[in-house]
């Protein structure tokens, strides 16, 4: 993979988490934003499709290998929504508002009388693309349930309402190192590590 990698994202939380995961391998990461690269339109209906779009755009523009992440939360009772549209559900004219998006999800579950447990999955697809157009995909998933009210301010996105199976703290309450060791991104990264770094 080389010793430099573009993280094809402008999301500070994702960049921080991926940078932490890559640090032990001596790979210097630089974000697409740091390189002044524009975010491409995510026009696919799957995490894999959108991850490929972002990784290939960054690899081509930077002339370096690029790693992208497309991830989101899928709620069983909402037929997998918000899914690939997770960030869109948080979009407002003033920027992303995840507390508003979490409230919307919870209110939808309440309105349809969804019983407990309200099963959800955090899903992540990582794509590593090279400037020559080749790529590899790695997928991770963590299953849990949604809780209310929101708990914790340590994570980002939907972390404050996601309680992974077997855990007592939401991702929003967990210390970052603990969350990074078990998150959907960590599961996908373990596959990437086995396929490319070990």
Query: Is the CB of residue 184 less than 8 Å from the CB of residue 137?
Result: no
75 vs 60: CA distance, rounded Å: 34
Burial-class residue 193 by CB neighbours within 10 Å (0-12, 13-18, 19+). middle
Does the active-site annotation cover 70?
yes
For residue 137, give the nearest of 53, 198, 81 by alpha carbon: 53
The catalytic residue among 3, 34, 70, 165 is 70
Query: Is the CB of residue 76 less than 8 Å from the CB of residue 61?
Result: no
Catalytic residues: 70
């Amino acid at each position: 993979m080389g010793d430099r990698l573009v993280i094809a994202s402008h999301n500070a939380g994702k960049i921080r988490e991926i940078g932490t995961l890559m640090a032990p391998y001596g790979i210097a990461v630089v974000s697409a934003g740091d390189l002044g690269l524009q975010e491409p339109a995510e026009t696919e209906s799957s995490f894999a499709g959108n991850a490929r779009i972002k990784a290939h755009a960054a690899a081509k523009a930077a002339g370096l290998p690029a790693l992208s992440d497309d991830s989101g939360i899928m709620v069983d009772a909402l037929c997998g929504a918000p899914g690939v549209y997770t960030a869109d559900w948080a979009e407002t004219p003033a920027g992303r508002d995840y507390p508003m998006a979490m409230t919307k999800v919870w209110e939808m579950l309440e309105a349809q009388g969804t019983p407990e447990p309200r099963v959800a999955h955090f899903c992540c697809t990582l794509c590593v693309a090279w400037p020559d157009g080749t790529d590899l995909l790695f997928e991770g998933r963590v299953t849990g349930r949604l809780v209310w009210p929101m708990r914790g301010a340590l994570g980002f996105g939907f972390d404050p309402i996601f309680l992974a199976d077997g855990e007592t703290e939401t991702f929003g309450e967990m210390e970052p190192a603990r969350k990074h060791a078990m998150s959907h991104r960590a599961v996908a990264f373990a596959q990437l590590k086995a396929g490319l770094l070990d």
